[in-house]
Structure 1
Amino acid sequence: MKKILLLTLSGILALTLLTGCGKKGVEGSVATDGSTSMEKVIGSLGESFTGENKDVKFTYNPTGSGSGITAVSEDRCDIGLSSRNLKDEEKNKGLEETVLALDGIAIIVSPDNDVKDLSTEDIAKIYKGEITNWKDVGGKDAEIVVIGREAGSGTRDGFESITKTENSCKYRQELTSTGDVITTVAGNPDAIGYASLASVNKNVKTLKVNGVNPSEKTVKDGSYVIQRPFVIVTKTDKKLSKAAQAFFDYITSKDASEIISKAGAVPVK
Protein backbone atom coordinates (compact mmCIF):
# COMPACT_ATOMS: atom_id res chain seq x y z
CA MET A 1 0.00 0.00 0.00
CA LYS A 2 2.82 2.31 0.92
CA LYS A 3 4.54 1.53 -2.38
CA ILE A 4 1.38 2.25 -4.38
CA LEU A 5 0.89 5.58 -2.59
CA LEU A 6 4.51 6.51 -3.30
CA LEU A 7 4.10 5.75 -7.01
CA THR A 8 0.90 7.77 -7.15
CA LEU A 9 2.54 10.78 -5.52
CA SER A 10 5.49 10.48 -7.91
CA GLY A 11 3.10 10.46 -10.87
CA ILE A 12 1.28 13.57 -9.66
CA LEU A 13 4.60 15.37 -9.14
CA ALA A 14 5.79 14.45 -12.65
CA LEU A 15 2.52 15.67 -14.19
CA THR A 16 2.81 18.94 -12.28
CA LEU A 17 6.34 19.47 -13.51
CA LEU A 18 5.34 18.78 -17.12
CA THR A 19 2.42 21.20 -16.89
CA GLY A 20 4.70 23.85 -15.44
CA CYS A 21 7.12 23.39 -18.34
CA GLY A 22 4.35 23.79 -20.94
CA LYS A 23 4.41 26.80 -23.27
CA LYS A 24 2.53 29.75 -21.80
CA GLY A 25 0.04 31.50 -24.07
CA VAL A 26 1.16 34.86 -25.46
CA GLU A 27 -0.25 38.19 -24.33
CA GLY A 28 -0.81 41.48 -26.11
CA SER A 29 -2.62 42.58 -29.24
CA VAL A 30 -2.57 41.88 -32.97
CA ALA A 31 -3.96 44.51 -35.35
CA THR A 32 -4.64 43.61 -38.99
CA ASP A 33 -5.90 45.93 -41.73
CA GLY A 34 -6.74 45.57 -45.39
CA SER A 35 -8.49 43.33 -47.92
CA THR A 36 -12.25 42.90 -47.49
CA SER A 37 -11.99 39.69 -49.53
CA MET A 38 -9.89 38.14 -46.78
CA GLU A 39 -12.50 38.75 -44.09
CA LYS A 40 -13.69 35.15 -43.75
CA VAL A 41 -10.18 33.68 -43.86
CA ILE A 42 -8.51 36.13 -41.49
CA GLY A 43 -11.54 36.17 -39.19
CA SER A 44 -11.49 32.38 -38.86
CA LEU A 45 -7.75 32.38 -38.20
CA GLY A 46 -8.06 35.16 -35.64
CA GLU A 47 -10.84 33.34 -33.82
CA SER A 48 -8.85 30.11 -33.69
CA PHE A 49 -5.68 31.86 -32.54
CA THR A 50 -7.36 33.83 -29.74
CA GLY A 51 -9.16 30.68 -28.68
CA GLU A 52 -5.75 29.22 -27.85
CA ASN A 53 -4.34 32.52 -26.56
CA LYS A 54 -7.00 34.07 -24.32
CA ASP A 55 -4.84 37.06 -23.40
CA VAL A 56 -4.44 38.29 -26.97
CA LYS A 57 -6.75 40.93 -28.45
CA PHE A 58 -7.15 40.45 -32.21
CA THR A 59 -8.61 43.12 -34.52
CA TYR A 60 -9.34 43.24 -38.25
CA ASN A 61 -10.08 46.50 -40.06
CA PRO A 62 -11.62 45.86 -43.52
CA THR A 63 -10.38 48.89 -45.47
CA GLY A 64 -9.28 47.32 -48.77
CA SER A 65 -5.91 46.06 -49.96
CA GLY A 66 -4.39 49.43 -50.83
CA SER A 67 -5.37 50.93 -47.49
CA GLY A 68 -4.06 47.91 -45.60
CA ILE A 69 -0.69 48.15 -47.33
CA THR A 70 -0.51 51.85 -46.45
CA ALA A 71 -1.54 51.14 -42.85
CA VAL A 72 1.32 48.70 -42.22
CA SER A 73 3.75 51.04 -43.98
CA GLU A 74 2.69 53.87 -41.64
CA ASP A 75 2.81 51.64 -38.52
CA ARG A 76 -0.95 51.85 -38.00
CA CYS A 77 -1.27 48.07 -37.82
CA ASP A 78 0.93 45.05 -37.23
CA ILE A 79 0.04 43.06 -40.34
CA GLY A 80 -1.43 44.27 -43.63
CA LEU A 81 -3.78 42.14 -45.72
CA SER A 82 -3.75 42.27 -49.51
CA SER A 83 -5.57 40.30 -52.16
CA ARG A 84 -2.85 41.11 -54.68
CA ASN A 85 0.92 40.86 -54.81
CA LEU A 86 2.95 43.85 -53.70
CA LYS A 87 4.15 46.19 -56.42
CA ASP A 88 7.85 46.88 -56.85
CA GLU A 89 7.51 50.41 -55.49
CA GLU A 90 5.84 49.04 -52.34
CA LYS A 91 8.62 46.51 -51.83
CA ASN A 92 11.16 49.29 -52.34
CA LYS A 93 9.56 51.11 -49.41
CA GLY A 94 10.53 48.26 -47.10
CA LEU A 95 7.45 46.07 -47.28
CA GLU A 96 7.53 42.28 -47.54
CA GLU A 97 4.82 39.88 -48.70
CA THR A 98 4.07 36.34 -47.61
CA VAL A 99 1.51 34.41 -49.67
CA LEU A 100 -0.99 32.87 -47.28
CA ALA A 101 -3.45 31.31 -49.73
CA LEU A 102 -4.87 31.41 -53.24
CA ASP A 103 -8.38 32.63 -54.03
CA GLY A 104 -10.54 32.41 -57.09
CA ILE A 105 -12.21 35.59 -58.29
CA ALA A 106 -15.73 34.40 -59.04
CA ILE A 107 -17.77 35.97 -61.81
CA ILE A 108 -21.20 36.40 -60.27
CA VAL A 109 -24.73 37.07 -61.49
CA SER A 110 -28.21 36.86 -60.02
CA PRO A 111 -29.66 33.34 -59.65
CA ASP A 112 -32.40 34.55 -62.05
CA ASN A 113 -29.84 34.99 -64.85
CA ASP A 114 -29.89 32.12 -67.40
CA VAL A 115 -26.24 32.49 -68.44
CA LYS A 116 -23.99 29.74 -67.02
CA ASP A 117 -20.62 30.07 -68.77
CA LEU A 118 -18.53 32.91 -70.19
CA SER A 119 -15.13 32.93 -71.85
CA THR A 120 -12.46 35.27 -70.56
CA GLU A 121 -12.75 37.08 -73.89
CA ASP A 122 -16.48 37.67 -73.41
CA ILE A 123 -15.93 38.82 -69.82
CA ALA A 124 -13.35 41.34 -71.03
CA LYS A 125 -15.70 42.61 -73.75
CA ILE A 126 -18.54 42.99 -71.23
CA TYR A 127 -16.38 45.00 -68.85
CA LYS A 128 -14.96 47.16 -71.64
CA GLY A 129 -18.47 47.95 -72.90
CA GLU A 130 -18.08 46.04 -76.18
CA ILE A 131 -20.84 43.58 -75.24
CA THR A 132 -23.74 45.40 -73.60
CA ASN A 133 -26.70 43.00 -73.88
CA TRP A 134 -27.12 39.58 -72.27
CA LYS A 135 -28.65 38.16 -75.47
CA ASP A 136 -25.20 38.40 -77.11
CA VAL A 137 -23.81 35.81 -74.66
CA GLY A 138 -26.77 33.45 -74.51
CA GLY A 139 -29.01 35.31 -72.08
CA LYS A 140 -32.22 37.30 -72.31
CA ASP A 141 -32.65 40.61 -74.11
CA ALA A 142 -31.54 42.98 -71.36
CA GLU A 143 -28.81 45.56 -70.82
CA ILE A 144 -25.85 44.26 -68.81
CA VAL A 145 -25.25 46.23 -65.62
CA VAL A 146 -21.51 46.12 -64.93
CA ILE A 147 -20.53 46.12 -61.24
CA GLY A 148 -16.97 46.24 -59.89
CA ARG A 149 -14.72 47.39 -57.07
CA GLU A 150 -13.17 50.76 -56.36
CA ALA A 151 -9.68 51.80 -57.44
CA GLY A 152 -7.11 50.40 -55.01
CA SER A 153 -9.02 47.17 -54.47
CA GLY A 154 -6.88 44.03 -54.71
CA THR A 155 -9.82 42.16 -56.23
CA ARG A 156 -10.19 44.78 -58.96
CA ASP A 157 -6.45 44.77 -59.60
CA GLY A 158 -6.43 40.98 -59.92
CA PHE A 159 -9.52 40.84 -62.10
CA GLU A 160 -8.40 43.56 -64.49
CA SER A 161 -4.85 42.26 -64.87
CA ILE A 162 -6.04 38.71 -65.64
CA THR A 163 -8.74 39.83 -68.09
CA LYS A 164 -6.44 42.52 -69.54
CA THR A 165 -8.98 45.28 -68.93
CA GLU A 166 -6.82 47.69 -66.92
CA ASN A 167 -8.00 51.31 -67.25
CA SER A 168 -10.67 50.32 -69.78
CA CYS A 169 -13.60 49.00 -67.72
CA LYS A 170 -16.97 50.73 -68.08
CA TYR A 171 -18.40 50.31 -64.60
CA ARG A 172 -21.98 51.26 -63.77
CA GLN A 173 -21.05 51.08 -60.08
CA GLU A 174 -17.72 50.90 -58.25
CA LEU A 175 -18.26 49.55 -54.74
CA THR A 176 -15.99 49.58 -51.72
CA SER A 177 -16.31 46.02 -50.43
CA THR A 178 -16.80 42.44 -51.54
CA GLY A 179 -20.03 42.27 -49.55
CA ASP A 180 -21.45 45.32 -51.34
CA VAL A 181 -20.73 43.77 -54.75
CA ILE A 182 -22.45 40.50 -53.78
CA THR A 183 -25.50 42.30 -52.34
CA THR A 184 -25.83 44.58 -55.36
CA VAL A 185 -25.55 41.77 -57.91
CA ALA A 186 -27.97 39.60 -55.94
CA GLY A 187 -30.58 42.34 -56.11
CA ASN A 188 -30.33 43.00 -59.85
CA PRO A 189 -31.13 40.22 -62.38
CA ASP A 190 -29.24 42.10 -65.12
CA ALA A 191 -26.03 42.73 -63.15
CA ILE A 192 -22.64 41.07 -63.38
CA GLY A 193 -19.85 41.40 -60.84
CA TYR A 194 -16.71 39.78 -59.49
CA ALA A 195 -15.99 38.74 -55.92
CA SER A 196 -13.74 36.57 -53.82
CA LEU A 197 -14.77 32.93 -54.11
CA ALA A 198 -14.16 32.65 -50.36
CA SER A 199 -16.92 35.22 -49.77
CA VAL A 200 -19.58 34.14 -52.28
CA ASN A 201 -22.92 33.03 -50.81
CA LYS A 202 -26.12 31.42 -52.07
CA ASN A 203 -27.63 34.81 -52.94
CA VAL A 204 -25.63 34.91 -56.18
CA LYS A 205 -24.70 32.43 -58.90
CA THR A 206 -21.10 31.82 -59.94
CA LEU A 207 -20.45 31.39 -63.65
CA LYS A 208 -18.11 28.93 -65.29
CA VAL A 209 -15.16 30.61 -66.99
CA ASN A 210 -13.97 28.88 -70.17
CA GLY A 211 -16.09 25.89 -69.11
CA VAL A 212 -14.49 25.57 -65.66
CA ASN A 213 -16.34 25.99 -62.36
CA PRO A 214 -14.55 28.03 -59.67
CA SER A 215 -13.63 25.71 -56.79
CA GLU A 216 -10.77 24.91 -54.44
CA LYS A 217 -9.69 22.11 -56.77
CA THR A 218 -9.73 24.18 -59.97
CA VAL A 219 -7.98 27.13 -58.31
CA LYS A 220 -5.29 24.81 -56.97
CA ASP A 221 -4.66 23.05 -60.29
CA GLY A 222 -4.80 26.33 -62.23
CA SER A 223 -7.63 25.35 -64.56
CA TYR A 224 -9.75 28.19 -63.18
CA VAL A 225 -7.74 31.08 -64.53
CA ILE A 226 -9.23 34.07 -62.70
CA GLN A 227 -7.41 33.77 -59.39
CA ARG A 228 -5.04 35.75 -57.18
CA PRO A 229 -3.06 35.41 -53.95
CA PHE A 230 -4.08 36.33 -50.42
CA VAL A 231 -1.01 38.09 -49.04
CA ILE A 232 0.05 39.16 -45.55
CA VAL A 233 2.25 42.25 -45.49
CA THR A 234 4.92 43.18 -42.94
CA LYS A 235 7.83 45.64 -42.73
CA THR A 236 11.33 44.35 -43.37
CA ASP A 237 12.97 46.74 -40.89
CA LYS A 238 10.51 46.36 -38.00
CA LYS A 239 10.29 43.37 -35.70
CA LEU A 240 6.78 42.19 -34.91
CA SER A 241 5.60 42.19 -31.31
CA LYS A 242 5.58 38.85 -29.52
CA ALA A 243 1.81 38.47 -30.03
CA ALA A 244 1.92 39.53 -33.70
CA GLN A 245 4.84 37.20 -34.42
CA ALA A 246 3.02 34.31 -32.76
CA PHE A 247 -0.05 35.04 -34.92
CA PHE A 248 2.10 35.28 -38.06
CA ASP A 249 3.78 31.96 -37.28
CA TYR A 250 0.42 30.33 -36.59
CA ILE A 251 -1.37 31.40 -39.77
CA THR A 252 1.59 30.44 -41.99
CA SER A 253 1.94 26.98 -40.43
CA LYS A 254 0.43 23.74 -41.70
CA ASP A 255 -1.85 23.77 -38.66
CA ALA A 256 -3.78 26.66 -40.23
CA SER A 257 -4.37 24.92 -43.58
CA GLU A 258 -7.65 23.30 -42.63
CA ILE A 259 -9.04 26.57 -41.28
CA ILE A 260 -8.06 28.40 -44.47
CA SER A 261 -9.63 25.68 -46.59
CA LYS A 262 -12.90 25.74 -44.61
CA ALA A 263 -13.02 29.52 -45.09
CA GLY A 264 -13.10 28.95 -48.86
CA ALA A 265 -9.51 29.68 -49.90
CA VAL A 266 -6.70 27.36 -51.00
CA PRO A 267 -3.83 27.15 -48.47
CA VAL A 268 -0.34 27.24 -49.95
CA LYS A 269 1.07 24.99 -47.22
Structure 2
Amino acid sequence: MTGSVNKPGFPLTYCVGAAVLLLAITLFVSGCVGNDSPEERRTISVTGSTTVLPVGQAAADAYMDTHLYDEILVSGGGSGAGIKAVGEGTADIGMASRDIKAEEKQKYPNLVEHVIAVDGIALIVHPSNPVTTMTMDEIKAIYKGDITNWKDLGGEDRPIVPVGRDSASGTREFFYEAVMHKEEFVRTQQELNSNGAVKQTVAQTPDAIGYVGLGYLDNTVAAVTIDLNGDSVVPNIENIKNKSYPIARGLNMYTQGQPSGLVKEYLDFLMSVEGQRIVAEQGFVPVQ
Protein backbone atom coordinates (compact mmCIF):
# COMPACT_ATOMS: atom_id res chain seq x y z
CA MET A 1 0.00 0.00 0.00
CA THR A 2 1.36 3.31 -1.02
CA GLY A 3 0.91 6.23 1.39
CA SER A 4 1.73 9.90 1.35
CA VAL A 5 5.23 10.96 2.27
CA ASN A 6 5.77 13.91 4.63
CA LYS A 7 8.94 15.67 3.39
CA PRO A 8 10.80 17.92 5.79
CA GLY A 9 10.78 21.65 5.11
CA PHE A 10 8.53 24.71 5.34
CA PRO A 11 4.85 24.56 4.39
CA LEU A 12 4.14 25.80 0.83
CA THR A 13 2.01 28.70 2.06
CA TYR A 14 4.87 29.91 4.25
CA CYS A 15 7.35 29.85 1.32
CA VAL A 16 4.97 31.75 -0.95
CA GLY A 17 4.36 34.35 1.70
CA ALA A 18 8.06 34.81 2.32
CA ALA A 19 8.72 35.23 -1.41
CA VAL A 20 6.05 37.86 -1.75
CA LEU A 21 7.43 39.74 1.25
CA LEU A 22 10.97 39.61 -0.18
CA LEU A 23 9.75 40.90 -3.54
CA ALA A 24 7.91 43.77 -1.87
CA ILE A 25 11.02 44.76 0.13
CA THR A 26 13.17 44.62 -3.04
CA LEU A 27 10.77 46.82 -4.98
CA PHE A 28 10.56 49.30 -2.11
CA VAL A 29 14.35 49.59 -1.76
CA SER A 30 14.77 49.79 -5.54
CA GLY A 31 12.19 52.53 -5.72
CA CYS A 32 13.93 54.55 -3.01
CA VAL A 33 17.36 54.25 -4.60
CA GLY A 34 16.38 54.72 -8.25
CA ASN A 35 13.57 57.20 -7.92
CA ASP A 36 13.30 59.16 -11.15
CA SER A 37 10.57 61.48 -9.97
CA PRO A 38 10.43 65.00 -11.51
CA GLU A 39 10.84 66.50 -8.04
CA GLU A 40 14.43 65.20 -7.89
CA ARG A 41 15.47 66.15 -11.43
CA ARG A 42 16.75 69.70 -12.10
CA THR A 43 17.57 71.26 -15.47
CA ILE A 44 19.09 74.61 -16.42
CA SER A 45 20.12 76.10 -19.77
CA VAL A 46 23.34 77.98 -20.50
CA THR A 47 23.76 79.75 -23.85
CA GLY A 48 25.80 82.44 -25.61
CA SER A 49 29.45 83.05 -26.46
CA THR A 50 31.25 80.39 -28.49
CA THR A 51 34.47 81.51 -26.78
CA VAL A 52 33.09 80.62 -23.35
CA LEU A 53 31.30 77.53 -24.71
CA PRO A 54 34.18 75.01 -24.26
CA VAL A 55 34.58 75.99 -20.59
CA GLY A 56 30.84 75.98 -19.99
CA GLN A 57 30.39 72.55 -21.57
CA ALA A 58 33.41 70.94 -19.88
CA ALA A 59 32.34 72.26 -16.48
CA ALA A 60 28.76 71.06 -17.06
CA ASP A 61 29.99 67.57 -17.97
CA ALA A 62 32.22 67.37 -14.90
CA TYR A 63 29.42 68.60 -12.62
CA MET A 64 26.86 66.17 -14.03
CA ASP A 65 29.28 63.25 -13.55
CA THR A 66 28.72 63.57 -9.79
CA HIS A 67 25.15 64.95 -9.80
CA LEU A 68 23.18 62.33 -11.69
CA TYR A 69 19.77 64.00 -11.31
CA ASP A 70 20.94 67.39 -12.62
CA GLU A 71 21.05 68.38 -16.28
CA ILE A 72 22.94 71.42 -17.61
CA LEU A 73 22.23 72.18 -21.28
CA VAL A 74 24.97 74.30 -22.91
CA SER A 75 24.78 75.89 -26.37
CA GLY A 76 26.41 78.69 -28.41
CA GLY A 77 24.94 81.49 -30.47
CA GLY A 78 27.12 84.48 -29.56
CA SER A 79 27.46 86.85 -26.61
CA GLY A 80 24.60 89.09 -27.70
CA ALA A 81 22.27 86.12 -28.00
CA GLY A 82 23.30 84.85 -24.57
CA ILE A 83 22.66 88.17 -22.85
CA LYS A 84 19.31 88.50 -24.59
CA ALA A 85 18.31 84.95 -23.66
CA VAL A 86 19.00 85.35 -19.95
CA GLY A 87 17.54 88.86 -19.96
CA GLU A 88 14.29 87.64 -21.51
CA GLY A 89 14.11 84.50 -19.41
CA THR A 90 14.63 81.91 -22.14
CA ALA A 91 17.92 80.78 -20.57
CA ASP A 92 19.16 80.57 -16.98
CA ILE A 93 22.72 81.72 -17.72
CA GLY A 94 24.04 83.85 -20.58
CA MET A 95 27.68 83.42 -21.59
CA ALA A 96 29.54 86.48 -22.93
CA SER A 97 33.10 87.17 -24.01
CA ARG A 98 32.61 90.90 -23.43
CA ASP A 99 31.11 93.22 -20.85
CA ILE A 100 27.43 94.03 -21.04
CA LYS A 101 26.63 97.08 -23.17
CA ALA A 102 24.94 100.17 -21.74
CA GLU A 103 21.79 99.56 -23.79
CA GLU A 104 21.65 95.92 -22.64
CA LYS A 105 22.05 96.99 -19.03
CA GLN A 106 19.22 99.47 -19.47
CA LYS A 107 16.99 96.84 -21.08
CA TYR A 108 17.86 94.10 -18.57
CA PRO A 109 18.69 95.99 -15.35
CA ASN A 110 18.68 92.93 -13.09
CA LEU A 111 21.49 91.05 -14.82
CA VAL A 112 24.42 90.11 -12.57
CA GLU A 113 27.90 89.55 -14.01
CA HIS A 114 30.11 86.61 -12.97
CA VAL A 115 33.70 86.70 -14.32
CA ILE A 116 34.88 83.09 -14.63
CA ALA A 117 38.13 83.46 -16.62
CA VAL A 118 40.38 85.80 -18.60
CA ASP A 119 41.04 85.27 -22.29
CA GLY A 120 43.32 86.68 -24.95
CA ILE A 121 42.31 87.19 -28.56
CA ALA A 122 44.96 85.75 -30.87
CA LEU A 123 45.50 86.77 -34.48
CA ILE A 124 46.01 83.67 -36.60
CA VAL A 125 47.38 83.00 -40.09
CA HIS A 126 47.95 79.89 -42.19
CA PRO A 127 51.01 77.87 -40.99
CA SER A 128 52.70 78.42 -44.39
CA ASN A 129 52.52 82.22 -44.08
CA PRO A 130 55.97 83.74 -43.39
CA VAL A 131 54.40 86.83 -41.77
CA THR A 132 54.05 85.92 -38.08
CA THR A 133 54.79 89.26 -36.37
CA MET A 134 52.71 92.45 -36.70
CA THR A 135 52.17 95.71 -34.89
CA MET A 136 48.75 96.72 -33.58
CA ASP A 137 48.62 99.43 -36.26
CA GLU A 138 49.25 96.87 -39.00
CA ILE A 139 46.51 94.60 -37.70
CA LYS A 140 44.08 97.50 -37.63
CA ALA A 141 45.12 98.54 -41.15
CA ILE A 142 44.40 95.02 -42.46
CA TYR A 143 40.91 94.99 -40.98
CA LYS A 144 40.21 98.54 -42.17
CA GLY A 145 41.30 97.65 -45.69
CA ASP A 146 44.34 99.98 -45.75
CA ILE A 147 46.74 97.03 -46.13
CA THR A 148 45.49 94.49 -48.65
CA ASN A 149 48.56 92.54 -49.78
CA TRP A 150 50.96 90.35 -47.77
CA LYS A 151 53.95 91.86 -49.62
CA ASP A 152 53.36 95.10 -47.67
CA LEU A 153 54.18 93.16 -44.50
CA GLY A 154 57.20 91.34 -45.88
CA GLY A 155 55.30 88.36 -47.25
CA GLU A 156 54.46 87.13 -50.71
CA ASP A 157 52.68 89.20 -53.36
CA ARG A 158 49.26 87.81 -52.55
CA PRO A 159 45.98 89.47 -51.47
CA ILE A 160 45.09 89.30 -47.80
CA VAL A 161 41.84 87.51 -46.94
CA PRO A 162 40.51 89.07 -43.69
CA VAL A 163 38.28 86.76 -41.64
CA GLY A 164 36.28 87.89 -38.62
CA ARG A 165 33.13 87.31 -36.62
CA ASP A 166 29.49 88.24 -37.12
CA SER A 167 27.64 91.05 -35.34
CA ALA A 168 26.39 88.80 -32.49
CA SER A 169 29.93 87.98 -31.40
CA GLY A 170 31.42 89.32 -28.18
CA THR A 171 34.87 88.60 -29.58
CA ARG A 172 34.11 90.85 -32.54
CA GLU A 173 32.79 93.58 -30.23
CA PHE A 174 35.92 93.51 -28.09
CA PHE A 175 38.17 93.45 -31.17
CA TYR A 176 36.20 96.40 -32.59
CA GLU A 177 36.92 98.42 -29.44
CA ALA A 178 40.42 97.26 -28.47
CA VAL A 179 42.00 96.95 -31.93
CA MET A 180 39.84 98.95 -34.34
CA HIS A 181 39.12 101.74 -31.85
CA LYS A 182 35.55 101.68 -33.16
CA GLU A 183 36.56 102.29 -36.78
CA GLU A 184 34.62 100.16 -39.26
CA PHE A 185 35.81 96.84 -40.67
CA VAL A 186 36.63 96.45 -44.35
CA ARG A 187 33.55 95.35 -46.29
CA THR A 188 35.34 92.36 -47.82
CA GLN A 189 35.85 90.75 -44.41
CA GLN A 190 34.35 87.26 -44.16
CA GLU A 191 32.01 87.22 -41.14
CA LEU A 192 31.63 83.84 -39.47
CA ASN A 193 29.53 82.77 -36.51
CA SER A 194 32.04 80.98 -34.27
CA ASN A 195 35.69 80.79 -33.23
CA GLY A 196 35.83 77.28 -34.65
CA ALA A 197 34.63 78.47 -38.05
CA VAL A 198 37.26 81.22 -38.12
CA LYS A 199 40.03 78.79 -37.21
CA GLN A 200 38.92 76.26 -39.81
CA THR A 201 38.71 78.90 -42.55
CA VAL A 202 42.20 80.24 -41.79
CA ALA A 203 43.59 76.69 -41.60
CA GLN A 204 42.23 76.01 -45.08
CA THR A 205 43.06 79.39 -46.69
CA PRO A 206 46.78 80.18 -47.17
CA ASP A 207 46.23 83.95 -47.51
CA ALA A 208 43.75 84.40 -44.65
CA ILE A 209 44.08 86.15 -41.30
CA GLY A 210 41.57 85.78 -38.48
CA TYR A 211 41.13 86.26 -34.74
CA VAL A 212 40.03 83.70 -32.14
CA GLY A 213 39.97 83.14 -28.40
CA LEU A 214 43.22 81.82 -26.98
CA GLY A 215 41.66 78.45 -26.19
CA TYR A 216 41.19 77.76 -29.90
CA LEU A 217 44.88 77.83 -30.82
CA ASP A 218 46.34 74.59 -32.14
CA ASN A 219 48.85 73.41 -34.76
CA THR A 220 46.42 73.89 -37.66
CA VAL A 221 47.06 77.65 -37.53
CA ALA A 222 49.95 79.97 -36.61
CA ALA A 223 49.53 82.57 -33.87
CA VAL A 224 50.76 86.08 -34.68
CA THR A 225 53.28 87.67 -32.32
CA ILE A 226 52.46 91.30 -31.47
CA ASP A 227 55.28 93.83 -31.90
CA LEU A 228 54.90 96.44 -29.14
CA ASN A 229 57.55 99.09 -29.73
CA GLY A 230 60.16 96.46 -30.50
CA ASP A 231 59.06 93.97 -27.84
CA SER A 232 57.66 90.73 -29.25
CA VAL A 233 54.67 89.52 -27.23
CA VAL A 234 53.30 86.04 -27.87
CA PRO A 235 49.63 85.30 -27.16
CA ASN A 236 49.87 82.85 -24.28
CA ILE A 237 48.62 82.42 -20.71
CA GLU A 238 51.80 83.78 -19.12
CA ASN A 239 51.63 87.05 -21.06
CA ILE A 240 47.94 87.46 -20.29
CA LYS A 241 48.61 86.92 -16.59
CA ASN A 242 51.39 89.53 -16.55
CA LYS A 243 49.21 91.84 -18.70
CA SER A 244 51.85 92.31 -21.39
CA TYR A 245 49.61 90.92 -24.12
CA PRO A 246 47.45 93.82 -25.35
CA ILE A 247 44.30 92.03 -26.56
CA ALA A 248 42.77 90.40 -23.46
CA ARG A 249 39.34 90.47 -21.79
CA GLY A 250 37.24 88.76 -19.13
CA LEU A 251 34.92 85.84 -19.89
CA ASN A 252 31.56 86.31 -18.21
CA MET A 253 28.39 84.53 -17.26
CA TYR A 254 25.24 86.54 -16.57
CA THR A 255 22.26 85.64 -14.39
CA GLN A 256 18.91 87.28 -13.80
CA GLY A 257 19.51 88.57 -10.28
CA GLN A 258 21.61 86.71 -7.74
CA PRO A 259 21.76 83.00 -8.62
CA SER A 260 20.13 80.26 -6.57
CA GLY A 261 19.54 76.52 -6.80
CA LEU A 262 21.32 74.64 -9.57
CA VAL A 263 22.39 77.90 -11.26
CA LYS A 264 24.32 78.91 -8.12
CA GLU A 265 25.74 75.43 -7.61
CA TYR A 266 27.02 75.33 -11.21
CA LEU A 267 28.62 78.79 -10.96
CA ASP A 268 30.15 77.88 -7.58
CA PHE A 269 31.61 74.78 -9.21
CA LEU A 270 33.12 76.91 -12.00
CA MET A 271 34.84 79.07 -9.39
CA SER A 272 36.05 76.08 -7.34
CA VAL A 273 39.54 74.56 -7.60
CA GLU A 274 38.24 71.90 -9.99
CA GLY A 275 36.28 74.41 -12.07
CA GLN A 276 39.25 76.75 -12.44
CA ARG A 277 41.40 73.77 -13.37
CA ILE A 278 38.95 73.15 -16.23
CA VAL A 279 39.35 76.82 -17.23
CA ALA A 280 43.13 76.30 -17.50
CA GLU A 281 42.73 73.01 -19.37
CA GLN A 282 40.61 74.79 -21.97
CA GLY A 283 43.43 77.29 -22.61
CA PHE A 284 42.14 80.25 -20.59
CA VAL A 285 43.44 82.07 -17.52
CA PRO A 286 41.84 81.22 -14.16
CA VAL A 287 40.63 84.08 -11.96
CA GLN A 288 40.93 82.20 -8.67
TM-score range, shorter chain: 0.7 to 0.9
- Deviation per CA, 1:13-68: give whole Å up to 9, x if none: xxxxxxxxxxxxx8411210000111221111111111121111111111100000
Residue 254 of structure 1, CA deviation: 3.5
Structure 2 residue corresponding to 1:215, chosen from 210, 221, 236? 236
Q: Which has the higher contact order (CA 8 A, sep 6+)?
A: 1
Q: Which amino acid aligns with 1:137?
A: L
Q: Which amino acid aligns with 1:174?
A: E
Q: Which residues of 2 match residues 202-241 of structure 1 at below 5 A? A: 202-210=219-227, 211-236=232-257, 240=259
Identify which range, 106-115 or 26-35, moves more after superposition.
26-35
- Equivalent position of 1:149 in the other structure: 165
Residue 160 of structure 1, CA deviation: 1.5
Q: Which residues of 2 match residues 71-220 of structure 1 at below 5 A? A: 71-92=85-106, 93=108, 94-170=110-186, 171-210=188-227, 211-220=232-241
Structure 2 residue corresponding to 1:54, chosen from 52, 55, 68? 68
Residue 95 of structure 1, CA deviation: 1.4
Percent of aligned positions with the same letter in both sequences?
Answer: 37
How many residues align? The count is 242
How many angstroms apart in 2 are the aligned matches of 1:80 and 1:240? 12
| 2:125–2:203 CA contact under 8 A, matched in 1 | yes
Aligned with 1:112: secondary structure? coil
How many angstroms apart in 2 are the aligned matches of 1:207 and 1:39? 23
How many angstroms apart in 1 are the aligned matches of 2:203 and 2:56? 24
| 1:27–1:243 CA contact under 8 A, matched in 2 | no
How many angstroms apart in 2 are the aligned matches of 1:188 and 1:166? 27
Structure 2 residue corresponding to 1:263, chosen from 274, 279, 282? 282
Residue 96 of structure 1, CA deviation: 1.6
| 1:29–1:244 CA contact under 8 A, matched in 2 | no
Aligned with 1:233: secondary structure? strand
How many angstroms apart in 2 are the aligned matches of 1:71 and 1:113? 40
| 1:109–1:206 CA contact under 8 A, matched in 2 | yes
Give every structure 1 segment of 4 or more consecutive aligned residues whose post-TM-superposition deviation is greater than 3 Å.
none
How many angstroms apart in 1 are the aligned matches of 2:276 and 2:152? 42
Q: Calculate the TM-score normalised by the size of structure 2.
A: 0.81
- Equivalent position of 2:16 in the other structure: none
Q: Calculate the TM-score normalised by the size of structure 1.
A: 0.86
Aligned with 2:164: secondary structure? strand
Higher Cα Rg, which structure: 2
- Deviation per CA, 1:87-126: give whole Å up to 9, x if none: 2232232212111111110100110111111111110011
Aligned with 1:102: secondary structure? strand
Q: Which amino acid aligns with 1:200?
A: L
Residue 161 of structure 1, CA deviation: 0.9
Q: Which residues of 2 match residues 7-86 of structure 1 at below 5 A? A: 27-86=41-100
